[in-house]
Amino acid sequence: MQKTNNNNLTWFDSLISRKDRERLHGHQGAVFWFTGLSSSGKSTIAHLVERELHKMGCSTYVFDGDNVRHGLCSDLSFSPAARRENIRRIGEMVKLFVDAGIIVLTAFISPYRSDRDSVRSLFADGEFFEIYVECPAEVCEGRDQKGVYKRARAGEIKNFTGISAPYEAPENPELIIRSNELSVEEAVACAMQLVRENNIIVTS
């Protein structure tokens, strides 16, 4: 057990180690963090990658931006401070899932580089993989089926990334997927190659 100075809380170490859990799953715990503008294809790619991993017998979970804001982060707005808190909460939740030996895929705009770097700092080397789904804003706007870009341009949605709020592109992501140049199938193949190259799944 590890004591902290935070309200006399004590961290209790599980009787089952992370390595035990990973042996049970047959793969390492890791997070593949998809970031990019709204309608860039993050969620679509992340869910299709999860389906491929599931077919291989992997234990997975996708944290989707809209889904999380229905529950865990339903009390947050889209102000810069609220966005940071949103990503902070997700980072801590993802850390628990990775400790459980799960392969986590996230699909969040996560517009601020410092917030993504803060999440990365929660993990050891080889556990966190940033995937930048790059797509020009005009292409994303043309794909938008929910009408959020139109509403943002009309001033109905405040602090909308790419319109009235900034997006800070990753400087050194593990993978860049240019979704306006690749088919969905090609994008998924790129992400799966990243999984294979980093030996996340035990093949023996």
Query: Which among 39, 40, 59, 110 is annotated as catalytic?
Result: 110
Model's pTM, two decimal places? 0.90
Taking phi first (over 0 means left), then psi (-120 to 50 degrees means alpha), and beta for anything else, what does residue 108 get? Answer: beta
**What distance in Å separates the CA atoms of residue 78 and residue 85, rounded to the nearest whole number?**
10
Tell me which fold the domain 18-197 belongs to. Rossmann fold (3.40.50)
In the chain, domain spans = 18-197
The answer to whether residues 179 and 40 touch, using CB atoms and an 8 Å cutoff, is: yes
Question: SS3 of 75, please?
Answer: coil
Q: For this structure, is 110 an active site residue?
A: yes
The tens-digit pLDDT sequence of the chain (204 residues) is 455 556 778 878 888 888 889 998 999 999 999 999 999 999 999 999 999 999 999 999 999 888 888 888 889 888 889 999 999 999 999 999 999 999 999 999 999 999 999 999 999 999 999 999 999 999 999 998 888 999 999 989 988 998 989 999 999 999 999 999 999 999 999 999 999 999 999 754
